[in-house]
Structure 1
Amino acid sequence: MKDQDMGSVFKQLSLAGVAMAVSTAVFAADMPAPIIEHIPEVPAVGGWYLRGDIGYKLYEEPKGSFNDPVVGNLRFRSNELDDAWMIGAGVGYKFTDYFRADLTVDYETPAGYKGLAPCAPCFGSYSVETADIDVWTVMLNGYVDIGTWYNITPYVGAGIGAAWVNVSNVKSTNPGAATTSYDGSHSQWNLAWALMAGASYAVTPNWSIDAGYRYKNLGDAKSVKLHNVGTGQSRVKYKDLTAHEIRLGVRYNFDSYAASAPQSMLYPSEPITRRF
């Protein structure tokens, strides 16, 4: 092939390359600008948390009774147990978006008990029996977080544990007679259980406010021995100590791990196409 023919071929190839480059540039300029979608930060879930609570307890009427060695078991009438305050703290772990558990310790201030006992020497009247009852509870609780709407998460739960029930300041007053006081106190451990429901509000990713209701069963209690009655070995029994609690608390979540990004963010289901 002659040199003139070779030069002609190279010139044609060069012109073709320039044409392709110009065509590509025009095509690129005609394409819409790429849209960079911001993937939102995935909030942290799970991990350890601390909690603190205060609350108000409304006791149901217990069943007071006394086993008299002469006339047998005497059931009290008009049983009353005053309301009380509680304070508590605990540590928990959030396993998933929907399940968490915690271990809590609560102290419940003394509640005043009052009941009327049949009084044989009082001609058909009644003696007034009083006492103070305070409680410590240790509970293992589990919760199901139903879902979150506008940072509000309703939940239901249940708990089981132990209650240390202490009875003190026991007194008995017969009509027209002096009041008999019994020194000391008597305490015992009982099986305790609870049912609860409420909602939490996430103020920040770490801090939440918790408001809830709890039904708690604390078992039974006994007074000190009544030294001046019968053999001096009898005690007043207080059965079915149950309460309704209105609680307000805060939780601090340590955010020990973060949730994975949704699959749709990592792998788009639709191909990226150009629309003209």
Structure 2
Amino acid sequence: MRSVRFFVIAGAASLLSSMASAADMAIAPPPMPYAPPVAEFGGWYLRGDVGFSNQRVDNIRNTNAALYANNLSFQETTGFDTGGLYQIGAGYQFNHWFRMDVTGEYRGSANFHGLDLISFPNGGTTGFGSDVYNASKSEWLFLVNAYADLGTWYCITPYIGAGIGTARVQIANFTDSGVATLFPPGSGVGPSLVSAATGSQWNFAWALHAGLSYQVTQNMAVDLGYSYVNLGNGTTGVDSAFDHSAGGHVFQFHNITSQDVKLGVRWNLWSPPTYAPPLVTKG
């Protein structure tokens, strides 16, 4: 009986000792929840675009004022063939809605066709004439552009933008074939042919942009864009008649504009940091 009491007392003492030791141990707090760090947004990107132009010009005039001194009346029709566009650039995405870039664009040669129907007083009657123009035109265009991204839905981001810069407009292969007919009938003036050397000039240029961007991967987006571009004026080189009887002036193309459609790709040179849980060590 004594031995039973001894074992009971010993067991109780051992249990109390274990409880006291457990009470002395520091209780570790539950792990705190960790939120992923806020991703830094923004960085450099490269871009490349191809497209085509739809161009127009207000009018064509020679700098020889004497040609327009006889109360001439003009009915002018002009137009350009479509030309190819090739653009590269680099920019910076500042945040989710604002970015800027610098672009350089070569605007390939586009054929120009023009027709002037002219009427003018000829004594008590009216004279009529026509001028048929042909030429080719190309440009280099350099712009600084700013864009506002208007939100993203299903990886598609509409945007608008504007740019300012400079354009080098070149006019080549210019010819002017003219015919004048006077009244009474039979008093016509024979045809004339004027040509002009290649000429170019630098202008202030500006553009308005709009389009859609599709995020293909984290670092690549495809752009379908529209631009309205004002390229300024163009000029030929010095003109001369086929028999060298006249010349020494240039033809000027006043207010060249274009509505462009482009398809391009943007490559982000940055990546948002990936989330990694904190390392917990035990010691």
TM-score range, shorter chain: 0.7 to 0.9
Q: In the comparison of the two structures, how many residue pairs are matched? A: 244
Work out whether residues 213 and 245 of structure 1, in 8 Å CA contact, stay in contact via their aligned partners in 2: yes
Identity %: 34
Do structure 1's residue 126 and structure 2's residue 130 form an aligned pair?
A: yes
Is the contact between residue 158 and residue 196 of structure 1 (CA under 8 Å) also seen in structure 2? yes
Tell whether 2:45 aligns with 1:49.
yes
Letter of the 2:53 counterpart = K
Q: Is the 2:104–2:142 Cα contact (8 Å) retained in structure 1?
A: yes
Pick which of 58-67 and 232-241 moved more: 58-67
Residues 56 and 78 in structure 2, CA contact (< 8 A), matched pair in contact too:
no
User: CA separation of 1:109/1:17 partners in 2, compared to 1, >3 Å: closer, same or farther?
Assistant: same
Secondary structure in structure 2 of the residue aligned to 1:241 = strand
2:178 to 161, 171, 174: 174
- For residue 248 of structure 1, what is the aligned residue in structure 2? 263
1:8-157 alignment runs, 5 A limit: 15=15, 45-72=41-68, 77-117=76-116, 118=118, 123-157=127-161
Q: 2:208, 2:257 → 1: CA distance?
A: 12
Residues 1:202 and 2:201 aligned together: no
TM-score by length of 1: 0.74
Per the alignment, residue 265 of structure 1 pairs with none
Measured against aligned partners, the alpha-carbon deviations of 1:168-210 in whole angstroms (never above 9, x if no partner) come to 101011246364433x311000000000011111111111111
Q: Match for 2:236 among 223, 233, 239?
A: 223
Matches of 2:36 and 2:50, distance apart in 1: 36
Secondary structure of 2:41's aligned partner: coil
Give the counterpart letter for 2:139 in structure 1: V
The answer to which structure has the higher strand fraction is 2
Corresponding residue of 2:272: 258
Question: What SS class does the counterpart of residue 142 from structure 2 fall into?
Answer: strand
Unaligned runs of 5+ in 1: 1-6, 22-33, 262-276
Contact 1:55 1:85 in 2 (8 A): yes
Structure 1 counterpart SS, 2:240: coil
For residues 235 and 8 of structure 2, what CA distance do their matches in structure 1 show? 116
Q: Contact (CA 8 Å) 1:45, 1:259: kept in 2 or not?
A: no
- How many Å apart are 1:63 and its aligned residue? 1.6
Q: Please, which runs of 5 or more residues in structure 2 have no aligned partner?
A: 1-6, 22-29, 180-189, 276-283
Q: What is the match of residue 4 of structure 2?
A: none
3-state DSSP class of the match of 1:70?
helix
Q: CA RMSD in A?
A: 3.7
Aligned partner of 1:186: which letter? Answer: G
Judge conservation of contact 2:57–2:253 (CA < 8 Å) in 1: no
1:42 Cα offset (Å) = 7.2
Normalised to the residue count of structure 2, the TM-score between the two structures is 0.72
Residue 199 of structure 2 is aligned to residue 186 of structure 1: yes
Q: How far apart are 1:159 and its partner, in Å?
A: 0.3
How far apart, CA to CA, are the structure 2 residues paired with 1:140 and 1:67? 33
Contact 1:42 1:260 (8 Å CA) reproduced? no
Q: Distance in 2 between matches of 1:136 and 1:143?
A: 22
